[in-house]
Structure 1
Amino acid sequence: MILIVDSGATKADWTALNEKGLKEFGTQTLGLNPEVLTEEIVMERLTTNEQLNENRKKAKHIYFYGAGCGTERLRTFLHTILQRFFSNATIVVKEDTYAAVYATTSEGEKAIVGILGTGANCSYWDGKELHQAVDSLGYSLMDECSGNFFGKRLIVDYFFKIMPEELRHKFEHEYELNSDVIKSHLYKLPNPNSYLATFARFLVENKDETYCNQIIKEGVQLFIDHWVVQYEAHKEVPINFVGSIAFYLQDIVKDVFSANGLKVGKILRKPIDGLVEYHLMHKPNK
């Protein structure tokens, strides 16, 4: 059995293929980001999934692509946990950007590939190798145009009364905005980035409101100014995206990129289907 995994900060999609390349099952766990989770939490999220538990000994190859796997230390940390759980498997752990590349580019195609989901990232794929111009410092300092970036902006604007009054009332109705609850999520509970990203739904649902539309455009422009222009080829190749923010706000993303003379290519909400196709073309011999 081959297990292919696309893990964001919030959720992880798992697809199991048998020896013939046919899908045996698909399942989902909470995200397995090694930057923000302890070994105990990662193991708990694996063991509480019934399908993964039942098939843990059957898995022979695991291809894991995850948020928070950008450094060797964190890849090794997660690899050790996965190896303990899937004891019979050969395991490959890569950062989630590779999943985005494999899902959105054709063989040998050059592209800039961005992730706009709970978090954000951007890399250049030269058709063979991945190039990272900036080392991401994570959700608290970077992640422009991500779900958690927009979530922070909305919360701040609400508390400073910058958000228009009508939207403030709507925001209050949809979210628990007690300051103690917010601070507990940010400083005591796991996955503060995923918590912040839950507020981004408000932007998506109200994207045609002037206030929300402007915030989205500012976030997209920051992503271009800070990330995309780092690559010399940014006006020569398509810019592909994966992630819920890119997918649900793609009309605005395309408009802002077009205004900057940039070409948006494919936009996928999740890369898992493209990942499966890629691995079917590159199956291990055994």
Structure 2
Amino acid sequence: MILITDSGSTKCDWIAVDKNGEQLHEKIRTKGLNPAILKEKKLIKIIKKSDELMQFKDQVTHIFFYGAGCGTTNPKLILTGVLESIFTNAVVDVQEDTMAAVRATLNHNDEAAVVCILGTGSNCSYFDGHKLHQRVVSLGYTIMDDASGNYFGKELIKDYYYNNMPEDIKVAFEHKFNLDADYIKYNLYKQPNPNAYLASFAEFMFLNKDSEYIKRLIKSGIRVFTNNMIFQYKEELKTVPVHFAGSIAFFSETEIREVADELGFRVGNFERRPIEGLVAYHIKNM
């Protein structure tokens, strides 16, 4: 049995296939497994809490894990060790989530493209057809992650507290969320996964996209992301498309295309959930 796994900071999807590529179970979902944020004990607890995973853990021979927080050496080693300690018969391959986005969005294995992730967090890389290149080392949600779920969550909360929201949007925002200052600070500074907490506010944008305020907010975030991340690859952009993965990208497709026309880059594919594309990739390459 082979497990193909795509994990963000918020959620983690697992799909089991056999050596012929046949899916063996319904997709399994756990909480996100970001080793750059969560401690080893917490990672183990999340995995072991899944009865479905524990039911066939001894049958797993290979795990292809793609995840947020797996782009640097130490977190990657921690998660590899956690997976090997639970799935004791499996060969474990841990890759950063950017590679999942690459494999899920490319039109063919050796296509060159700039590939972006806009989900709970954000990232951008260039794939030359063989190798992944990153020109910015991510410093995480506190000071980076432009145009991500947690970025837009921060912008919404700030606009609410700075009285920069239109009145109708402000009333709707108050109705949907607990905006008590102490409650917000508790979740940001006392609870695990503050990035996922911030990202939970982003859904509000897509429920209110008829608002000019929301449209401006989304496009403003996309412009920041473009200037800081996509334009790291200005030379490559002359010949390759820009693909997007993640739910924020998927629901912001219209705004992304408008910003692309405005700033001059070519948009390629959109993939809301990279896991489907990953399964197709691994089946094709077995």
The answer to whether TM tops 0.5 is: yes
Give the partner amino acid of 2:187: H
Question: What is residue 79 of structure 1 aligned with on the other side?
Answer: 80
Deviations 1:4-40 (A, max 9, x none): 0000111111000113221001211110001111112
Q: 8 Å contact 2:67–2:95 — kept in the other structure? A: yes
Determine the C-alpha separation between the residues in 2 that align with 1:165 and 1:276: 45
Unaligned runs of 5+ in 1: none
The correspondence for 2:159, drawn from 151, 157, 160, is 157
Secondary structure at the aligned position of 1:16 is classed as: strand
d(CA) in 2 for partners of 1:87, 1:108:
33
For residues 216-227 of structure 1, what are the structure 2 equivalents within 5 Å?
216-227=218-229
Task: Count residues in correspondence.
Answer: 283
How is 1:33-182 mapped onto 2 (pairs within 5 angstroms)? Answer: 33-105=34-106, 106-182=108-184
Are the equivalent residues in 2 in contact too, given 1:235–1:261 (CA < 8 A)? no
Aligned to 1:27: 28
**1:235 corresponds to 2:229:** no
Structure 2: runs of 5 or more not aligned: none
CA RMSD, Structure 1 to Structure 2 (Å)? 0.8
Give the Å deviation of 1:257: 0.9
How many Å separate the matches in 2 of 1:144 and 1:31?
20
- Using the aligned pairs only, state the percent identity: 47
Q: Is the 8 A contact 1:151 1:197 kept in 2?
A: yes
C-alpha separation in 2, matches of 1:162 and 1:82? 46
Question: Contact (CA 8 Å) 1:113, 1:241: kept in 2 or not?
Answer: yes
Question: 1:202: Cα distance to partner?
Answer: 1.0
Candidates 254, 257, 260, aligned match of 1:257: 260
Deviation for aligned residue 1:70: 0.8
Distance 2:102 2:169 in 1: 37
Distance 2:152 2:127 in 1: 27
For the pair 1:272 / 2:275, whether they are aligned, the reply is yes
Q: CA deviation at 1:260?
A: 1.2
**2: CA distance, partners of 1:176 / 1:235:** 46
Q: Distance in 2 between matches of 1:56 and 1:24?
A: 13
Contact 2:8 2:32 (C-alpha < 8 Å) held by counterparts: yes
Alpha-carbon deviation of 1:267? Answer: 0.3
Provide Cα deviations, 1:106-152, integer angstroms capped at 9, x if missing partner.
12100000000110000000000000010011100000000000000
Q: Which residue is equivalent to 1:282?
A: 285
Aligned partners of 1:17 and 1:210: how far apart in 2? Answer: 45
2:6 counterpart of 1:3:
no
With normalisation by structure 2, the TM-score equals 0.97
Q: Give 1:234 shift.
A: 1.9
**Cα distance in 1, alignment partners of residues 50 and 123 from structure 2:** 29
- 2:214 & 2:276 partners in 1: Cα distance? 31
Separation of aligned partners in 1, 2:257 and 2:225: 13
Give the whole-Å Cα distance in 1 for the aligned partners of 2:80 and 2:191: 24
Paired residue type of 2:4: I
Following superposition, the deviation at residue 181 of structure 1 comes to 1.1
> Which residue pairs with 2:192 in the alignment?
190
Q: Secondary structure at the match of 2:37?
A: coil
1:5 touches 1:15 (CA, 8 Å); kept in 2? yes
